[in-house]
Amino acid sequence: MLLQRRLNMFRNEMQSKTKDELKAVTKNGQVSEVKKRKREDVHWWYAFTITSVLAFASRQFYLDEPPGCVWDEVHFGTFANHYINRTFIHDVHPPLGKMFIAGIARLTGYNASFDFSVGQAYTSDINYVAIRSIIAIFGASLVPLSFLIVWEISFNLNACVIASICVLSDTFVHRLNTLILLDPPLMVAIMASVYSSIKFHNLRHREWSVTWWSWMMLTGVCLGIVTSIKYVGVFTVLFVGIHTAYQLFCIAVDNQRPMWHVLPHTLARAVALIVLPIIVYLSTFVVHFWILTDWSVNGGGFYPTKFFASFKNTEYVNATLPEHVHYGANITIQNTRPLCGYLESWFDLFPSDYTAPCQQVTSSTMRDNEALMWTIKKVDLEAGAVRDGKDPNEEPILVRNGDYIMLTHAESGRSLRSHSHRAPLTKRHFQVCGYGDDGAGGPFETWQLIIPDAEEGEPLTIINQDFMLKHYKMNCYLHVSEKAVLPKAWSFNGAKEVTCTKNQYSTGLRWHINWNISPKLNSTAVIADKVLGLWGKIYEQHLDMFIGNSVLISTSEEMERSARPWMWPLAWQIQTMGSFKVNNTEYEHFAIGMTNPFLTYVNVLCLAGVVFLATVHSYRAKRCQDEAKEYVECRRRALESSCWLLICWAMHYIPFFFMSRVLYYHHYCPSYIFSCMISGILISWICESWSKIFKEKHQDLVLKSLLLLPIVIILTSYILFFPLATYVKGLVFDRHETLSPMLDKLYLGQMWPEFGYRKEELTVFTKTEVMRWDDGLSMDHPHMNVTLYYITPLRNSKTKNSTKVISPWAASNYSSWVPGDGTDANIPYLPWWKEELLNKSLEANETEAPSSQGDDTILKL
């Protein structure tokens, strides 16, 4: 194919010559030109083959080290287990990459019997070396793909060789390509998308041919694949979109074509680069749901009931429930927004240094029927009474739109309450908690059930019908946010904050009945008729994935390994990916996520060099009109090629600056590979420019020598830092005998505790905690977030051992109920964490009789 291209180029050159020039070209000259083209093609294949063989061979070293789960192998190994067992699991990434890993594992004979967990050493149940080997073969294709991209964008063999050697010699790319991770298929799909896009553009002189259509369609398929692996593939789609817009612009400004030619080209690209990728992307989800037919244990809370009830192995298989709910029924309530979970309560109280110490009401994605069950009661405002519906002789009273209700936690007997205390985390919202013994309640435990878009009095149905709960006194709505995760120190792991907000347009306000025990009604609702179909499940999972990605925010435990984007090009902070003991000694084999330090700084210089070269080229075009065209054309080609690759680098790097989610060093790898290509083009241009200083007969020898020098240096750095690409043996966080002396020469202030650098600083950085309260601070301190609310009196007393016993007052008289608007929340604040003030309130409550207003009593300081 390359030979044919060379012959076509030569034929075109011959056709462009004048008759006199053609006469001057002898038959022997033509033959020598063809031989030269053939020789160049042979050199091309030699270079391509050698770099590819080196890549595939080098990636097969030390695949057995480390001998256990490393970094995200824990996650993607677990996902492979689920695909092999055909059980659904929630994840924030599309399915194709996970199915790819599961398929490779299945090919090796793995039967999903290994429990992937942090620090777990691999057993004989899984041939992890074979799995890593197949992934390494796939990941090694990044080297030949880099070679091909640089060739198609510059047609410079020297640049192709240096660029592919740079990718070959990077230690972090090597490390990621030899582990059970999504990164190898993701980066290969990114490179394949860019390559096919550039290849398609280079076939513009053969438009509408089969080859032209094939490469355009292949570009669309690659775009569909890359977005089906990870959503950062959208950055690749953005680059291809920019490149496609450039192609259409060139057609539009070509004065040798009519303007209407833009229309068919636009339609062709819309079909191949928009419609086709969408089809490929959605097809992966069809296969995904075809494979995953069973539901994993205890995982329903991430999705609404109508989603997970469609799977096997759930409590809804062949289940029938009452269609409606009557008062006195026991129900479980789930928020309809993804990741928000079930409404639950526990016997534990909220800590008094966060908010009022009443019983916790939270939301959880884990099912625990004892914590989730609520008894629904009817509040009759006219009669001034609560009807619990327990009388077996009483006709069932259905729950209807607009009813005033009370929800009592079945296990603890406390009722769902909101009042003017501020929520523990979201201070602009009101607290929601459990209050009252044995189902007692009052105005602050009363909620109005509102079914959006339903008529007044319409009966509430289960699963598919959403409702909101509006508080009677505070005029606010029961709310939960997927981002408001309560502290693990005092709440159950993963519990989310439930609040009451006055913003009726906020997300997280809609709830539905998840399970219904209404013994007075017949079970007429077949759950199988209420579940989502295939496209409904695809939509719901996308909603969950998008929300799940938005809540991936760094925690204190992840700070040690996370890094912000500005650190990535400088290798300012690297990753410790895993460590395992060596033969029961004090030494460890530990995997390090760190790019080749020498190559890292070369790439940074070359990125800056593109800007410098653009400036020089623009200046000389204006000031040096007599410069040789050969020099100008060589510099122009290098600059144009580098600029397109710089756009690739920027498209896969800059968007991370606008992400709040937790980020790691490996997110930079796609951009890093493009920076390696830029380095190959600029280094090649520098060598070619310097060689032209010498006499013509020496230029070829000088050029080969100049090109050989950077190749040897880069390969030498790869050999010296090869432990970073495989494993490092020694003590973690201590200076390494071999690597640290070399790193000393490249040290630029990095946080590298793995090799003894700034160990104490990192320890302080990751362990420092901000105290919630300091007794030395006054209430008017500018950094103290003081919240104003009033205290609902609690009957408090002290035992001999100073243990506080807290019990609520009885509910107030129903005859005094008046709907509230929540404006009484701006009454001065009582700081519960100030012990002396708390003691004064305890003493006052013990000596004074309770007010007739009960819950409406205001405690003034």
Q: Encode pLDDT of 797-823 as tens digits.
A: 333 343 333 333 333 334 444 454 444
Instruction: 215-221: list long-range contacts, CB under 8 Å, 24+ apart.
Output: 216/268, 216/269, 216/272, 216/273, 217/272, 217/276, 219/193, 219/272, 219/273, 220/272, 220/273, 220/274, 220/275, 220/276, 220/277, 220/280, 221/276, 221/277, 221/280
CA-CA distance, 37 to 42, in Å (whole number)? 9
State the pLDDT confidence band at 166, using cuts at 50, 70 and 90: very high
DSSP 8-state symbol, 411: T
Q: How many CB atoms lie within 10 A of CB 163?
A: 32
SS3 category, 64: coil
Does 461 have pLDDT greater than 50?
Answer: yes
Residue 358 CB contacts under 8 Å (≥ 6 apart), including other chains:
349, 350, 417, 431, 433, 434, 435, 794, 806, 808
SS3 category, 792: coil
Ramachandran angles phi, psi of 497, nearest 5°:
-75, 130
Angle, in degrees to the nearest 10, between helices 128-140 and 142-154: 10
Q: What tens digit of pLDDT does each residue of 574-614 get?
A: 888 888 887 777 788 888 888 999 999 999 999 999 999 99
| 752 or 762: which leads in pLDDT | 752
Does 499 have pLDDT greater than 60?
Answer: yes
CA-CA distance, 469 to 185, in Å (whole number)? 47
Q: Which of 175, 216, 259 is nearest to 576 (CA)?
A: 175
Look at 359-373, 382-396, 557-571 and tell me which has the smallest mean pLDDT.
557-571
Does 373 have pLDDT greater than 60?
Answer: yes
CB 610 within 8 A of CB 678: yes
State what percent of residues in the chain have pLDDT above 70: 82
State the pLDDT confidence band at 770, using cuts at 50, 70 and 90: very low
CA-CA distance, 514 to 334, in Å (whole number)? 6
DSSP 8-state symbol, 416: E
Q: What tens digit of pLDDT does each residue of 53-112 get?
A: 999 999 999 998 888 888 889 989 999 999 999 998 888 899 999 999 999 999 999 998
For the chain, the average pLDDT equals 81
Q: What tens digit of pLDDT does each residue of 553-571 get?
A: 655 555 556 788 898 998 8
Name the helix (H) or strand (E) containing 514. Answer: strand 511-517
Instruction: Determine the pLDDT at residue 35.
Output: 64
Which residues of 337-437 form beta strands (DSSP E)? Answer: 342-349, 359-364, 373-380, 385-387, 404-409, 415-422, 430-435
State the pLDDT confidence band at 36, using cuts at 50, 70 and 90: low
Structure tokens at 183: 């990164």
Q: Average pLDDT in the 830-835 region?
A: 34
Instruction: Determine the pLDDT at residue 97.
Output: 93
| 269 or 31: which leads in pLDDT | 269
Instruction: Determine the pLDDT at residue 571.
Output: 86
Measured at the CA of 202, the angle between CA 201 and CA 206, to 5 degrees, comes to: 95
Q: What tens digit of pLDDT does each residue of 613-630 get?
A: 999 888 888 887 777 778
Does 299 have pLDDT greater than 80?
Answer: no
CB 472 within 8 A of CB 448: yes
Task: State how far the alpha carbon of 707 is from the alpha carbons of 48, 148, 163, 595, 680, in Å.
Answer: 16, 19, 12, 23, 10
Q: Average pLDDT in the 412-439 region?
A: 88
Does 782 have pLDDT greater than 80?
Answer: no
Does 783 have pLDDT greater than 80?
Answer: no
Measured at the CA of 644, the angle between CA 639 and CA 649, to 5 degrees, comes to: 115
Does 158 have pLDDT greater than 70?
Answer: yes
SS3 category, 730: strand
Does 691 have pLDDT greater than 90?
Answer: no
Name the helix (H) or strand (E) containing 290. Answer: helix 276-291
Does 631 have pLDDT greater than 50?
Answer: yes
CA-CA distance, 94 to 71, in Å (whole number)? 19
CA-CA distance, 214 to 743, in Å (whole number)? 48
Measured at the CA of 559, the angle between CA 554 and CA 565, to 5 degrees, comes to: 75
